[in-house]
Amino acid sequence: MKSVLVIHLRTIGIIICILVAGGAVWYFFSNTTPVLGTYTVERGNVTSSVDIPGTVSSSNSVNLSFQESGQISKVYVKEGDTVTAGEALAKLDDSTEQTQLSQEEAVLAAAEAKLNSLKAGATPEDIAVSQSAVNAANQGLVNLYASINDVAVTGYGKATDAVQTQLGTMFNNMQLVFQNNVDSQSFISANTKYSAASLALNNWQQELSTVSASSSNSNLGSVLQDSITYLNTVSDLLQYMSTLLNNNNVTISLTSLAAYRINVSTGISEVNLASQNLSTLSQNIASQKLAVAQAQAALDVTQAGSTQNDIDAQQAVVLQAQAAINNAQIMINNTTIVAPFAGIARNVTAQVGMVVSPNIPVLSIINNNIMKVDAYASEIDVSKIEGNAAASVTLDSYGNDIKFPAKVTAVDTSETVVNGSPAYHVTLYFTEPDARIMAGMTGNVLITAAEHDNVVEVPSSLVLDNGGIHLVLVQDNGKSIPRAVTLGLSGDDGMIEIISGLNIGEKISDF
């Protein structure tokens, strides 16, 4: 009896050891990050679907409505007509949608042309055009510098006339005119400013005398800036004298005062015009220098050719343009009501010229052999479901391997509370009669929400999220290099579309 007990205890001990060891192995592997290894970037088809439960019910009719608002342009059936599955029944005026499609196609054509150009690289003609732009910009700058002397000489003439002609008589009699009319400080200031203006004119004249046809752009630029400074000195004198002459304490004869005021006003007008011309020329030179730099930069880019990043970025533009075309085509498709199954047209209220709103029935199809699926989508999923979207239905009775094709015929815009949560009723009809389908059966409905074919795709598990910036680890000579990518559609199979950032054949990994 004792030996039997010992044997049992040993057996129990062995079992406990096995369980502990197995638990340790399970813990290790369940808490170790799985390593996928390396994945080679390829093209594929990315499909996003909405998966919701549904229940089969029998129906001998379905109400049909437009997905968009608009004016009916065609009605192809009348009451009692027999129709086939997929047959067009009524159509809205789609001129706006067709125009949008044409515009998107033009955008795609332009994007593809640019992509092809980037791939081909710069042609000799492209380089010649860019070089011509550089030459033209440089010549424009040369012409502006060449005009500095003329503009400066003209400004000097205006300033000289303002000081020597317009103010000359006044300052020749300055003491006689003003000594009893203004305070001594103003009298001194006026003489000081007059002397400064006269000195500026002398210096200006000497600087202009050094200008020749061989003067460098640097020297001419100095002449331009100095001319502006000299002119500001003359302007300061004129403005001071204008204030002085308009002082109510001045009591010289009205005739002389009026004449002096006119002289000062004339001088101010001359100097202002000269100042404006010099300032405009200075601004034009600055702008032309920028134009030269931009033209040269464009030439450098043209000569350097396109980088892979440029090509990748343009490829993303092409994909976006194609997506816009797909969306425009969907909008066109939504302007037509098609029969979801074969049957007889009933309750045809649609008439040419009628303006209709979305989801308002305009006709019905009757067929006693048709079964439908009633499903309810959450508020998140319902936004992804389009009218006429293709779907497949699996029924619990037959398992997941047997799929029955169906099509969305209606999506309610008002919510229904199901099990305490808001949901939206989605109606689908089977597109092929099948005796195995019976009312009351339950199953799952997989509705295609979006599909992008022949796009760059990678496993979504290899995409890292770094504060909103999506990264992948690109393998380069045994090193993992983080690279930012732009994501597109997320697929049902764990794959995700890469719009830009990766090339076919590159390898990425999770380590």
pLDDT in tens, 168-226: 888 877 655 555 555 667 778 888 999 999 999 999 999 999 999 899 999 999 999 99
136-304 adopts what CATH topology?
Answer: Four Helix Bundle (Hemerythrin (Met), subunit A) (1.20.120)
The pair of structure tokens assigned to 415 is: 């919510």
Cα separation, 160 vs 73, in Å, equals 79
User: Which pLDDT score, from 0 to 100, does residue 30 have?
Assistant: 41
Do 54 and 428 form a contact (C-beta atoms < 8 A)?
yes
- Determine the average pLDDT of the residues in 439-447: 90
Cα separation, 395 vs 88, in Å, equals 30
How many angstroms separate the first and last alpha carbons of the chain? 59
Do 448 and 418 form a contact (C-beta atoms < 8 A)?
no
Beta-bridge partners for 371: 58
Pairing of strands 469-476, 507-509: antiparallel
User: Which pLDDT score, from 0 to 100, does residue 60 have?
Assistant: 74
Q: Where are the domains of the chain?
A: 1-32, 136-304
- Determine the average pLDDT of the residues in 262-277: 93
- Determine the average pLDDT of the residues in 83-111: 93
**SS3 of the chain: helix, strand, coil, percent, to 5:** 50, 25, 25
64 Cβ contact partners less than 8 Å away, ≥ 6 residues apart: 89, 337, 339, 340, 361, 362, 363, 364, 365, 409
User: Which pLDDT score, from 0 to 100, does residue 321 have?
Assistant: 93
Task: Name which residue leads in pLDDT, 414 or 23.
Answer: 414
Cα separation, 318 vs 298, in Å, equals 23
* 204 to 155, 190, 230, 400: CA distances (angstroms): 10, 21, 7, 95
**pLDDT digits over 101-155, tens only?**
999 999 999 999 888 888 887 788 888 999 999 999 999 999 999 999 999 999 9
Percentage of residues of the chain with pLDDT beyond 90 = 52
The pair of structure tokens assigned to 313 is: 């970025």
